[in-house]
A and B are shown apart, each in its own frame.
Chain A
């Protein structure tokens, strides 16, 4: 998957409106929209797109979208 597509889909999916720019360096945990429901949504989103199940412990360690991409596996993305 292209990183830009991933970002667009995630942006729409999480219904992010609180920041102007949404990029790999965006700090997820500071977003107004990043609550427990958003975490469940990310688990479902990653499962659907990459057939991989993240645990809440793994997600607790991420700060930026770059971290999320690394967690999923950089090799699964194109620039």
Chain B
């Protein structure tokens, strides 16, 4: 049976979309959470939707690398050693190569990639991690293994997560920490609503028809993440799990 009873899990990007659904679902099956986001009222909204008690919310910009360690360590001291880390925070960008620049790459990589690596470093410290093992999941994207117009920045930031998770899986195996990536296709969230509005109409239509099972729901991603956070997946590490309604199999 799938459950996360007794597990302490830290979730970034919990104030919206996939991260919020994952938080709600993980709490429902027994986990105690540290949830992170920047938007006060939306994060509070997630906290109010959680089952169980003793969850902690952290209002935090995860690219504020100077203060990340002290804030996270303090929260872990309060809640207890961590069994799972789920990195859902991320930003999307559809900008053609000719309009990209170093500043835009830096912003994308800071939120999508470097924050995941920094949080992993902090959480995997002996004082912060359950010595019996833990599971880390980075929400990458099918765009981490495929290409599309206007996605040079986004694709590269998501692809970097995949290779980082493999290196980390090997390095952290002695600590019994498993590290995997989840690669969703298009799921209806705040992020994708905004993206679709900005895309030329034909491009938006094309994306929809390329998903044989239609767009995904956030609960589809939450189900997979809960499995990867649970002991049912104890022999899965260093891999990427595509969950895209058939988008990439054509």
User: Is A29 close to B, CB under 8 A?
Assistant: no
User: Is A63 close to B, CB under 8 A?
Assistant: no
Across-interface contacts of B201 in A (CB, < 8 A): 56-57, 60
* B11-29 near A? 1/0 per residue, CB < 8 Å: 0000000000000000000
**Which residue of A has the minimal Cβ distance to B94?**
A40
Question: How many angstroms from the CA of A36 to the CA of B149 in the assembled complex?
Answer: 9
User: Is B70 close to A, CB under 8 A?
Assistant: no
**Which size bracket describes the interface of B in this complex?**
10 to 19
* A30-57 near B? 1/0 per residue, CB < 8 Å: 0000001101110111001000011111
A44:B197 contact, CB within 8 angstroms: no
A-B contact count (CB 8 A): 45
Most B CB atoms within 10 A — which of A39, A57, A60? A39
**Which size bracket describes the interface of A in this complex?**
10 to 19
* A49-79 near B? 1/0 per residue, CB < 8 Å: 0000111110110000000000000000000
Q: Hey, which bits of chain B sit against chain A, CB under 8 A?
A: 94-96, 98-99, 149-150, 197-204
Chain A binding site: helix, strand, loop or mixed by DSSP? helix
B96:A37 contact, CB within 8 angstroms: yes
B198:A37 contact, CB within 8 angstroms: no
Say how far A10's CB is from chain B's closest CB, in angstroms. 12
A13:B200 contact, CB within 8 angstroms: no
A56:B204 contact, CB within 8 angstroms: yes
Question: How many angstroms from the CA of A57 to the CA of B96 in the assembled complex?
Answer: 19
Across-interface contacts of B202 in A (CB, < 8 A): 36
Across-interface contacts of B150 in A (CB, < 8 A): 37, 40
